[in-house]
Amino acid sequence: LKESIHPFGKKYHKDFYALKDISFEIKRGETIGIIGKNGSGKSTLLKMITGVLTPSAGMIEANGKISALLELGAGFNLELTGIENIYLNGTLMGFSREDVDKKLNDILSFADIGDFIYQPVKLYSSGMFARLAFSVAINVEPDILIVDEALAVGDVKFQTKCFNKFTSLKEKGVTILFVSHDISSIRNFCDKTMWIHEGHLKEIGDTVEVTAEYMEFMNSTQLEKGYEENEQESVYLKQSNFQPINRWGSNVGLIRYAEIYNQKGKITDVFETFEKIKLDIVFYIPEEIDFENLSVAFSIKNVTGIDLVVSTTFDSERIRFNRNGCYAEVSFEFENYLNVGEYILVVALEDRSQIVPEYYDYIEGAKYFKVVSNKKLFGMFNIPVNQTLIYVEEKQDEAN
């Protein structure tokens, strides 16, 4: 209102462009991953490609039938049943009732929600919603499939089915645009990757190279968090802002700092399999402490709380403490044999004067990190295993 009546046309608002100066071409049959932090413009781009939004400048050309899963349950009428919504969505996509009839069994089989298909979708859980919406999207024989973080609500079984279906669609020459924050899924599935940052196309190309640069960029903010990488810095100046699951012990607060570094020496929370990792722990040794039985320990747990890797200075002949009333820093270095997944770092100061350790300071959740890989791996660990092949000749019958 102020702008409309101002005599000199003064502006009281600021123009904001969700996307700017973006240009790219995707070939038929390619699977493109799209990455970027929240608010970078990924979803806006997909909505413009599907026609949900109209660009204020420029042109978008898409050749082929597009099927999109942009938001959970978008296009569904909550009052209708699942089966009614299948026909509704089919109609919106330009299919006749006879066409949907031919695809109905495949849709129902993939969604696998049983008799709930005859119930109003407003009664569905988020997982059931996702399964039905995704099943409709991929079973309408699209030329271009667009998926925006839609798999985040599904369970592991459902996600496996989805990726198997992705592979089948790729083999049929379907073009797929896949937005995800899961770098492992992007690497395992996508031919190329597009990195969008603050509305600009930062990079597009080889998936491994682009995701590696993206992870390095996202985890290069340690200086903003107050961490210093200056090797000359006194250890007592280092401090971590811990956000633990649990912290306890007889002298909580002795541990001041814990950080994990990749093989490039940078603080990060994303590591490659087989990458060398360094862990630094800074702590104070009080004068009254029994430093002869003092031990520094760390463990790596999975999300269910099972210890997968454990190491202590007490079990090593290399480190023994002979001073107190001072700060100290202990470093652990090891090769990462963990498989792809999410992990929790535990650090602790132990009293090993008894068979069962007692704790001065125990931090469960000193850090949280992920392990990613550009290969399909199995099991919990990927330890080096020597393999030998020997050909054994079958013994000939003496009579022959």
The gap from C-alpha 21 to its chain's centroid, in whole angstroms, comes to 28
The answer to whether residue 229 sits within a structural domain is no
Q: Is residue 38 part of a domain?
A: yes
- Shared domain check, 240 and 213: no
pLDDT for 213: 81
Question: pLDDT at position 125, please?
Answer: 81
**DSSP state letters, 332-380:** EEEE--B-SEEEEEEEEEEE-SSSS-EEEEEEEEEEEEEEE-SS---SS
User: Which pLDDT score is estimated for 295?
Assistant: 93
pLDDT > 70 in the chain, percent: 88
What pLDDT shows up at residue 192? 92
pLDDT confidence of residue 255: 94
pLDDT at 223: 36
Residue 397 forms part of a structural domain: no
Q: What angle do CA 255, 256, 257 make, to 5 degrees?
A: 105
* Same domain assignment for residues 262 and 124: no
Domain boundary among 168, 189, 218: 218
Predicted pLDDT at 276: 94
129 with 250, same domain? no
- Domain harbouring 353, CATH code: 2.70.50.60
Question: Which runs of consecutive H residues, i.e. helices, occur in the chain?
Answer: 2-5, 42-50, 82-92, 97-111, 126-138, 156-171, 183-189, 207-218
User: How many domains, in total, are found in the chain?
Assistant: 2
- 214 and 250: one domain? no
* Residues paired with 297 in a beta bridge: 312, 348
pLDDT means over runs of 10, the chain (400 residues): 80 84 91 89 88 88 83 74 88 82 87 87 82 81 81 63 80 89 78 91 88 72 40 57 88 93 90 92 91 92 86 82 88 92 92 89 92 79 85 67
CA dist 254 and 257 (Å) reads 9
Half-sphere exposure of 135 (CA within 13 A, CB side): 27
CA 396 to chain centre: 57
What gap in Å lies between CA 181 and CA 184, rounded to an integer? 9
Asked whether residue 179 falls in the same domain as residue 267, the answer is no
**Per-residue pLDDT at 72:** 57
Same domain, yes or no, for 95 and 121? yes
In a domain, 389, yes or no: no
In this structure, the answer to whether residues 197 and 323 fall within a common structural domain is no
- For residue 16, what are the domain limits? 2-218
pLDDT of residue 366: 93
- Note the pLDDT of residue 222: 39
Alpha-carbon span 359 to 340, nearest angstrom: 31
pLDDT given at position 73: 59
Q: How do 175-179 and 144-148 pair as beta strands? A: parallel
- Report the C-alpha gap between 90 and 374 in whole angstroms: 37
Show the tokens assigned to 308: 């997968």
Whether residue 243 sits in one domain with residue 131 = no
State residue 297's pLDDT score: 95
Element (H, E) at 175: strand 175-179
Residue where a domain terminates, one of 183, 218, 253: 218
Residues 196 and 272 in one domain: no
Q: Are residues 263 and 143 in the same domain?
A: no
Helix axes 82-92, 97-111, angle to 10 degrees: 130
Q: For residue 379, is it within any domain?
A: no
Residues 131 and 264 occupy one common structural domain: no
pLDDT at 151: 60
Q: What is the CATH number of the domain that holds 213?
A: 3.40.50.300
Question: Is 163 a domain residue?
Answer: yes
CA–CA dist 267, 316 (Å, integer): 26
Strand order in the sheet with 31-35: 66-69, 144-148, 175-179, 31-35, 192-197, 200-206
What is the C-alpha to C-alpha distance for residues 265 and 263, in angstroms, rounded to an integer? 5
How many whole angstroms separate alpha carbon 210 and alpha carbon 227?
26
Check residue 155 and give its pLDDT.
62
In whole angstroms, give the CA distance from residue 46 to residue 68.
Answer: 9
Looking at residue 156, its pLDDT comes to: 63
pLDDT on residue 397: 59
What's residue 344's pLDDT? 92
Nearest to 117, CA basis, from 91, 135, 92, 90: 135
Residues 109 and 29 in one domain: yes
Residue 396 domain flag: no
